[in-house]
Amino acid sequence: MAALTRIVSRAVVLRQTNIDTDQIIPARFLSTTERAGLGKNAFNDWRWQADGTPNAEFAFNQPHNQGRAILLAGRNFGCGSSREHAPWALTDLGLQAIVSSEIADIFRGNSLKNGLLPIVLDEADVQELMQNPDDELTVDVASRELHTSSGKVYHFPLDGFSQTCLLEGVDQLGWLLGRADEIGRFEAARAA
Phi, psi dihedral angles at 111 (to 5 degrees): -65, -50
Amino acid at 105: D
pLDDT digits (tens, 9 = 90+) for 97-106: 999 999 999 9
Domains and CATH numbers, the chain: 7-137 (3.20.19.10)
Mean pLDDT of 55-77: 97
What angle do helix axes 85-92 and 105-113 make, rounded to 10 degrees? Answer: 60
Residues whose CB is less than 8 angstroms from the CB of residue 43 and which lie 6 or more positions away in sequence, other chains included: 23, 24, 58, 60
Total-model pTM: 0.92
- Who wins on pLDDT, 105 or 187? 105
Question: Has residue 37 got a pLDDT over 90?
Answer: no
In percent, how much of the chain has pLDDT > 90? Answer: 78
Question: Has residue 192 got a pLDDT over 80?
Answer: no
